[in-house]
A and B are shown apart, each in its own frame.
Chain A
Amino acid sequence: MSNNGTLSYPEELKQKFLETEDINYRDGTIVTTSEIWKYVTDVAPKKYPYAYDLDYNNRLRRSEDVEYLSGIKVNYMTLSLRDLLLKAHDKGIPLIHVIGGQIMDAYYAAGGIAFRNALVSQMSRSTQEGASLRKIAIYEQELLEKGNKTFSYELCGPALRQRANFDGHIVPIDLIAPYQCMRCSDLARMIESYRDKFPSVSIDVPIVEYENKEWAVDYLTSGLRGLTKKVSNLSGKKITDKDILEEIKLENKVRKIAREIHDIWWSAKVPPTNSIDFGEVAQLAIDFKADPVAALGVLKEIKEEVKGRVKHSIKGKGLADDPARLYIVGMGAGNRARIDKMGGVMVGTDQAWSPISVHVKETGDPHENIARATLTLPFEQPVERRGELEAELSKRSRADGVVITLAWGCNYTSASVRVIADIIKERTGLPTNIFETNPGVEGAEQLENRIEAFVEMLN
């Protein structure tokens, strides 16, 4: 299938990599650099060949920037995710499916592991050991079709795939804990469909201008108390406010360092990493690849490596000389390697930035603190306010243009994107375009054709 070769890490990089830090996990496990090297160069290529397939149609391909050493650790954390989650599950740690966009402090504090769609998908496809890119593409398409047949052809693809994963017991799940009213209009229907099959706890998040809305804080705080109680019951871990505040401190550190990396990256004359590697910074900071302690350690290394690259004007591999800088609003722009190949580079996504942009107060009532932070998440603001925040972020990231994407079937987003696009255009003057898509693993011709035209326009 591959038309561009296979990713491999050159042996001459090994010694340099071995001199970097090991990964320290929350449960005390230490994975040495030697073990990581062995995994990414020997084990994973056999287990997950699709991830090493450098075909430009491969949305799941890993970065080809092999000299970006902390990226190798991110790859390790991604590809070994299933092992980590199964091990945790065997130990009685509840796996909690959450909707994206929220901060995870409460779940981890109560002894659970929160994983959103991206991690569910990663875990699911990891069951297909030895599968080629084509086989994985077919596998994910079949999951979507199962979801379609069971529920509706009108719902968004990612939500349907997750449901098929749980129905088929492909991914173990102990609790479904969505935040209602956040980003996903299909969620209400999905929750209804979960009613009898999976335990769930639902938190209603008021979409309000946060200032002077103490009722909203009280309302959300009450919901969060119910959530930690439920997770705590499942995990068997008795938690105190102090435990939650400690988790908040840890996750604040993760969010802070991710923001710092973004600022360093944005300040660079030439983009120091390609779109895949830059996208992974935010991904690592928002769901930690299921381990906030490990994520913090790797993010510290990423920060130093990115700083070094910026200092020496090193450009991420695969990027054009002066790439068009795309700020992405919405569900993402599909295949990041293809964006780079087209002459663009992704300078940020609002859905990833949203949860890392907040700082949760580290003293006082932790549930209230999380509630207050949640109500300030940029992605979850009333549409006009969100548009203003998108405009600010597109300027801060020095974007040349803004791409807004939405999933087919997403009723909420389809009703809000025009308003957001108009506000961004008005506030920044940046070219802004809206693309509706339902990308699969292999190719997403319509979306990518439009993004390519947009990049040509910017260049």
Chain B
Amino acid sequence: MTKKIDNNKPAFAGVDVGSLTAKSVIVLNGTIAGYSLIPTSLNSEQSGLTALQKALEVAKLTRDDVKYIVATGYGRISAPYANKTVTEITCHGRGAHYLHPNTRTIIDMGGQDCKAIRLDKDGNVTDFAMNDKCAAGTGRFLEVMANVFKVKLDDLGPLALKAKEIVPMSSTCTVFAESETVSLLARGEKPENIIKGIHHAIAHRVSGMFSRVGIESDVFFSGGVAKNVGMKAALEEVLKAKIVAPEYDPQLVGALGAAVLAKNYGSKV
């Protein structure tokens, strides 16, 4: 049964259409009422709409119950259903601040890009850096690596934690790293040690972005790659900082931030 909406307490939606997945979060009465996560299809508008619909179903709401929608992610340019579009950098800031108000630094590792984001105490972005032209250090990179080791993406992190040593990885290109990995396996290196080396190579790349924007605690890890425990450990080692693990799905932080912004904007309408 659909919830009856109190006009004074409408719902707000955030939709994040990324390169690999589309996410949506519904905020109602100041809390998360529903969410969804689906693979992005070729039609990014439809992906966003489907994600939104699924999140509404979880929240037991309809489109009519939603007062304001903010779209984010690369698919936001094709989101006529949204009242406003905002970049994912701003949205990740808002989402992380909502989940963990003491967040001052965000590491966001998504399907195709990495972001180092600094926040003030109110969740406003004060500085950021992103990878520019290389997909190394992103979810896509890890997907390729999981394929090389014939393991599930989810298993890469735990395997890295089993390593006894780090095998240095010299290639920063996804394709070259794949061939380097094949060579290392052929040389008899242990898979878990190579995997740990891969995670450390990524962590070092990410740390380069933090040399530009700096690090301040608390450090929050968002994006799909944040589910990888091996990546979190490698980043803590390289950045020499304790990383807060969100209690909420880190892949939904951008959509959550969009929903929070939708509430802010929508409340003024």
Distance (whole angstroms) from the CB of A459 to the closest CB of chain B: 10
CB distance A456 to B129 under 8 Å?
A: no
Given A418-B212, A434-B212, are A453 and B129 neighbors across the interface (CB < 8 Å)? no
- Taking CB atoms, residues of chain B closer than 8 Å to A433 are 127-129
Give the docked Cα–Cα distance between A445 and B44 (Å). 15
Which of the segments B1-9, B85-93, B140-148, B223-231 contacts the partner chain? B85-93
List chain A residues, Cβ under 8 A from B89. Answer: 453, 456-457
Report the bound CA distance from A457 to B86 in whole Å: 11
Contacts of B133 on A, CB cut-off 8 Å?
A: 408, 436, 438, 446
What sequence of 0s and 1s flags, for each residue 419-459 of chain A, a beta carbon within 8 Å of any chain B beta carbon? 00100000000010111111000000110011011101100
Nearest residue, chain A, Cβ from B90: A456
Which residues on the A side are within 8 Å of B127 (C-beta)?
431, 433, 457
Q: Is there a chain A Cβ closer than 8 Å to B126's Cβ?
A: yes
**A229 CA to B89 CA, complexed, in Å:** 55
Interface string of A383-422 (1 = CB under 8 A from B): 0000000000000000000000000100000000010010
Which residues of chain A are near B128, meaning CB under 8 Å? 433, 453-454, 457
Indicate if the CB atoms of A449 and B87 lie closer than 8 Å.
yes
Contact status B126-A457, CB under 8 Å:
yes
Asked if A452 and B87 make an inter-chain contact with CB atoms under 8 angstroms apart, the answer reads: yes
B125 at the interface (CB under 8 A from A): yes
With contacts A434-B212, A445-B74 taken as known, whether A457 is within 8 angstroms of B90 at the C-beta atoms is: yes
Q: Counting CB contacts under 8 A, is B132 at the interface?
A: yes
Q: Smallest distance from the beta carbon of A426 to chain B beta carbons, Å?
A: 14
Nearest residue in B to A431 (C-beta to C-beta)? B127
Question: Any chain A CB within 8 A of the CB of B130?
Answer: yes
In the bound assembly, the distance between CA atoms of A154 and B46 in angstroms comes to 38
Report the Cα distance A446→B129, complex, angstroms: 12
Contact of B86 among A435, A438, A456 (CB under 8 A): A456
- In this assembly, does B172 line the interface, its C-beta being within 8 Å of a C-beta of chain A? no
Question: Which chain A residue shows the least CB distance to B213?
Answer: A433
A435–B115 alpha-carbon span in the complex (Å): 13
Does B102 touch A at the CB level, under 8 Å? no
**Could you tell me the distance in whole angstroms from the C-beta of A238 to the nearest C-beta in chain B?**
50
In the complex, whether B124 has a CB less than 8 A from a CB of chain A is yes
Interchain CB contact (< 8 A) of B125 among A408, A446, A453: A453
B74-95 vs A: 1/0 string, CB under 8 Å?
Answer: 1000000000001111100000
Determine the distance from Cα of A402 to Cα of B130 in the docked complex, in whole angstroms. Answer: 16
Residues of B within 8 A of A436 (CB): 132-133
Question: Is B132 a contact partner of A437 (Cβ separation < 8 A)?
Answer: yes
Tell me the chain B residues, 113-128 only, with Cβ under 8 Å from chain A: 124-128
Docked complex Cα distance between A446 and B89 (Å): 12
Q: Please, which residues of chain A bring their CB within 8 A of the CB of B88? A: 453
Give every chain B residue within 8 A of A446 (Cβ-Cβ).
Answer: 130, 132-133
Whether A456 lies near B125 (C-beta < 8 A) is yes
Q: CA of A457 to CA of B126 in the docked complex: distance in angstroms?
A: 7
Q: In the complex, are the beta carbons of B125 and A457 less than 8 A apart? A: yes
B129 proximity list for chain A (CB < 8 A) = 433-434
User: Given the complex of chains A and B, what is the CA–CA distance between A434 and B133 in angstroms?
Assistant: 13
Contacts of B126 in A (CB 8 A): 431, 457
Kindly state the separation between the CA atoms of A438 and B124 in the bound complex, as whole angstroms. 29
| CB closest chain-A residue, reference B211 | A418
CB pair A453 B90 closer than 8 Å: yes
Interface centre among B74, B86, B127 (most CB of A within 10 A): B127
Is B87 within 8 A of A435, CB to CB?
no
CB distance from A312 to the nearest CB of B (A): 31
**Which partner residue on chain B sits nearest A406 by CB separation?**
B132
Most buried by B among A418, A454, A456: A456
Cα A457 to Cα B120 with chains together (Å): 11
Q: Kindly name the residue among B88, B132, B212 whose own CB sees the greatest number of chain A CB atoms within 10 A.
A: B132
| Bound CA span A415–B196, Å | 30
A183 and B254 CA atoms in complex are apart in Å by: 39
* A450 CA / B116 CA spacing, docked (Å): 12
B74 touches A449 (CB 8 A): yes
A residues within 8 A CB of B132? 408, 435-437, 446
Q: Which 9 A-B pairs have the closest CB atoms?
A: A453-B89, A453-B87, A436-B132, A457-B125, A456-B90, A452-B87, A456-B87, A408-B133, A450-B130
Of the A-B pairs whose beta carbons lie under 8 Å apart in the complex, a sample of 29, sorted by A's number, is A408-B132, A408-B133, A418-B212, A421-B212, A431-B127, A433-B127, A433-B128, A433-B129, A434-B212, A435-B132, A436-B132, A438-B133, A445-B74, A446-B132, A446-B133, A449-B87, A450-B130, A452-B87, A453-B87, A453-B89, A454-B128, A456-B86, A456-B87, A456-B125, A457-B89, A457-B90, A457-B124, A457-B125, A457-B127
Known: A431-B126, A435-B132, A456-B125. 19 other contacts (CB 8 A): A408-B132, A418-B212, A421-B212, A431-B127, A433-B128, A433-B129, A436-B132, A437-B132, A450-B130, A452-B87, A453-B87, A453-B88, A453-B89, A453-B90, A453-B125, A456-B86, A457-B89, A457-B126, A457-B127
